[in-house]
Amino acid sequence: MARGVYIHIPFCHQICNYCDFNKFYFQNQPVDDYIEMLGQEMAFVTQKNPEHFQQIETVFLGGGTPTALSPQQLKRLLELIQTYIPMDYVTEFTSEANPDELSADKLYALLDGGVNRLSMGVQSFDEELLQKIGRTHSNEHVYDTIALAKKVGFVNISIDLMYGLPGQTMAQWRDSLAKALALKLPHYSAYSLIVEPKTIFYNQYAKGKLHLPTEDLEADMYDVLMLEMEASGLQQYEISNFAQPGFHSVHNQIYWDNDEYAGFGAGAHGYLAGVRYSNHGPLKKYMETIKNGDLPYVHEHLVTPNERREEQMFLGLRKTAGVLHSIYEEKFQESLYVRYGKVIDKLVSEELLVHDTAGIRLTRKGRFVGNEVFQQFLL
């Protein structure tokens, strides 16, 4: 049974240099038709499998950039969501947003349509760095938009930050953190740059034209991140996420708990009835498939019991609470030690894991090499 719904809006007015998500320039795209096809997909899936949608807890609008849509387009999209997604148990309804695209009309459209959480892509408060990574907003946009969002009625506001950016210094990172924390928001996410294939940065890197901070400097930036968040009273509840009590991202928690969710839209991914699936990415193929009365799946994979266990481990260990004995045993009818005892003992001896009566979790040292720890559980 799905706990969450993800809806992909693949349109952007500007393509960021680091982005590898399924996205298209907004101009001259069939945006209105796409929204209607999204409605059709939601209708197909929820009516075909109503048992999967009995207790949806979260809805998440991602992209691309959902706020690239006009107020009228947002209203139509939210109307379709309210029509086809059972909302009785939804407590968190998030929309991603760009700071320079959130007008009052769009904010009211979002709020009136049920959205109660905003996740804003700020990335940096250094405007020279913003230009380097392809962002179009300014610091003034961030301050004005957050103030406007609060005035409209939004309380649950999160911003994303990035470190390890091309040419970024520790001084720049500290300054961005200070400006971000001065906003006193209830939630922050902070990610190191990953140079992904099919991005502008990847092409620059391949040509030797992308100058990144050293691994040691990036690790120091992460260390400063954790220290500053803690000093500001924010709890680190996942490797890259920090929040005031009561403001953890429920939707992302679904992913880290390895629970099921539905994905709608071009290039969206989902996990239902033990099957991980992905939709066609190209708009034309996605829309034509739905018009023909078919589901737009391009790939489906039945997750094996062993894969499910591995996912439970490497996703769960992203959380500071880690993997709990009680949850693991409930899902798999066996102790963590049956399969992973030797790995756990080894990582505990290396001071990368803590093991107690509650479960296992990364140490502070382990958070710096999380990916290396996770790989140990791929048996």
pLDDT on residue 25:
64
Q: What's the whole-number mean pLDDT along residues 317-326?
A: 97
Residue 58's nearest CA partner among 96, 87, 35, 97 is 87
pLDDT tens-digit profile of 163-188?
A: 999 999 999 999 999 999 999 999 99
State the pTM of this model.
Answer: 0.94
Q: What's the whole-number mean pLDDT along residues 208-233?
A: 94
Q: Residues of 67-97 as b/e, b for ≥16 C-beta within 10 angstroms?
A: bbbbbebbbbbbebbeebbeeeebebbbbbb
What is the spatial order of strands in the sheet that 323-324 belongs to? 323-324, 359-362, 353-355
Backbone angles phi, psi at 212, to 5 degrees: -100, 155
pLDDT tens-digit profile of 331-373?
A: 999 999 999 999 999 999 999 999 999 999 999 999 999 999 9
pLDDT tens-digit profile of 241-253?
A: 999 999 999 999 9
Q: Which CATH number fits domain 2-255: 3.40.190.10, 3.20.20.70, 3.30.470.30, 3.30.2130.10?
A: 3.20.20.70
- The two most distant CA atoms of the chain are separated, in Å, by 58
Distance, CA of 265 to CA of 280 (rounded, Å) = 8
Specify the residue for token string 């929309």.
Answer: 95
Q: What's the whole-number mean pLDDT along residues 83-87?
A: 97
Contact present, 121 and 102 (Cβ < 8 Å): no
Strand-strand pairing, 187-192 and 235-238 = unpaired
pLDDT on residue 265:
98
Backbone angles phi, psi at 167, to 5 degrees: 75, 5
Please count the other Cβ atoms lying within 10 Å of the Cβ belonging to residue 111. Answer: 18
Percent of the chain past pLDDT 90, that is, above it, reads 87
Residue 294 pLDDT more than 80? yes
pLDDT on residue 17:
65
pLDDT on residue 7:
98
Distance, CA of 261 to CA of 274 (rounded, Å) = 10
Q: pLDDT category, 18, cuts 50, 70, 90?
A: low
Query: In which residue ranges of the chain is CATH 3.20.20.70 found?
Result: 2-255
| Cis check: omega of the bond before 341, within 30 degrees of 0 | no
Q: What's the whole-number mean pLDDT along residues 263-285?
A: 97
